[in-house]
Amino acid sequence: MNVIGSSTRTSAACLFSKILTSPRARIKISWDIVCSKHSGLGSRQYEYDLVVIGGGSGGLACAKESALLGAKVAVLDFVTPTPLGTYWGIGGTCVNVGCIPKKLMHQASLLGEAVREARSFGWQIPDKVWCDWSRLREAVQDHVKSVNWVTRVQLKEKKVTYINARGYFKEPHVIGCVSKDGKEKTITAEKVLIAVGGRPNYPQIPGAVDLGITSDDIFSLKYPPEKTLVVGGGYVGLECAGFLSGLGFDVTVMLRSIALRGFDQQMATLIREDMERRGIKFIDECIPTNMQKVGKGKLEVSFKSVKEKQEVSKAVFKTVLFAIGRKPATEQLQLQNAGVDYNPETGKISVTDEATNSNGVYAVGDVLEGKPELTPVAIQAGKLLARRLFSGSNKRMDYSNVATTVFTPIEYGCVGLSEEVAKKEFSDNLEVYHAFYKPTEFTVPQKDTSSCYLKVLCLMKEPRTIVGMHFIGPQAGEVIQGFAAAMKAGITMEQLQDTIGIHPTTAEEFTRIFITKRSGLDPSVQSCCS
């Protein structure tokens, strides 16, 4: 019997009276006290056991898991439209303007490449093949809206209250809710989870906000982007540049410094080289200084060198997409009212096991200081937090060895440390195995395999534990996922080399790797059956 769940809230007094008259009163009262302490559902001075501010992946995961464990939960979600006017439904960045639409457009790009290559396999394909942007956009948005709908249904089925309003702190346990029409109400919660994610940055230059777009706009853009400048060389910028180029558009990437900062730089160089071979242009060590309209549907961008500081040049584009980083959407939360400490420069929140310094206030996802900004990370952290809060679990989130993939035209998957970080951490105790390879699917037609490369970082001392795995090639995300599980289990180099590969696959190249950088031997493509 659970007398502390939300379903018995209204009859608590009556039930308590009956327990007192029971011959087992002491046992039952003691058991209820234990359950209350164990589940975190003991207090009834608040309207909700948990209020989640933010309807993205991490917040929703925590909300649904908490509701399943008997908590009374509300989710606040409100999307401020972009300067272009783009807005979306519940589900957060990943579902609406991130991972999901990105992967679909990446797939559309790969399909175009596959159609053209099909001629080499005997398929009779018309000479001119092109992608209809409006049909692609419609297909992508139809899927996104279906996920929005399913999310709403799931919340309703799990009895999670959905409130379409912007939430902010009035006090640590008191949340203000401002609706689209400006009306406000107040709700209270014993526990509050901050899961508001982040939004893209704009440069502080004339015309950027009025004339530019970000990844929040590209997936629902009403017109074909045509000649596009992508400002920024992180994974978002390169992924957008990659699928736009694959869809047939003229694309230029402007880099302030290096591509894929934070990733292994040898792999980043190979990715860039592959993109250049595909016709994507790069402008190095420059930043935009001004944007203005010049004629119908054209934007003139002025830019300068970050080193020499003088004006370098001007160029005209149809679309300018800014991918210069993201900032957490914590500005409007009024965190000071809840006593939550945060970094005033970044807007990010420091946590210990997702708990902030303010009692009863938690945070997950992209708002966290120093944690991976990845959807699966937020989901896992949200679920584990819910179980600790409402079922007595002690399991903590492990942020180490989280795999990820950059969905550039040729994909890059990795897990563990980059070579740069591993060298700093392990110095002379590091061994690097590496190899170039030729995917079977790249042989008909004969495709460039210059960037098909992988490497494994392991310790030299026994048991030679693997600390990093990097792979560039087709289906990199699918390849690296299984090896991520192996790394979680502490796989060693001997165990990897003892693993029998599946032939012919690209993933088997990890099991065939034997040349070290230290040996100086040529890591060029080996025979497929050697």
Cβ neighbours of residue 109 under 8 Å, at least 6 residues apart? 242, 243, 245, 246, 247, 409
- Strands in 348-493 per DSSP E: 361-363, 404-406, 412-416, 430-436, 453-459, 466-472
Measured CA to CA, the distance from residue 237 to residue 15 in angstroms comes to 59
Measured CA to CA, the distance from residue 264 to residue 423 in angstroms comes to 12
Catalytic choice (173, 434, 470, 503):
503
Q: Which residue type, as a one-letter code, is found at position 207? A: G
Measured CA to CA, the distance from residue 493 to residue 490 in angstroms comes to 10
Measured CA to CA, the distance from residue 169 to residue 186 in angstroms comes to 10
Beta strands 48-53 and 73-76, pairing class:
parallel
User: Would you call 434 a catalytic residue per the annotation?
Assistant: no
Cβ neighbours of residue 163 under 8 Å, at least 6 residues apart? 74, 75, 76, 77, 177, 187
Measured CA to CA, the distance from residue 264 to residue 235 in angstroms comes to 12
Can you give the three-state secondary structure of 308-341, one letter per residue? Answer: CCCEEEEEEECEEEECCCEEECCHHHCHHHHCCC
The order of strands in the sheet holding 213-214 is 213-214, 319-322, 228-231, 251-254, 281-283
295: left (phi over 0), alpha (psi -120 to 50) or beta: left
Q: Mind telling me the catalytic residues?
A: 503
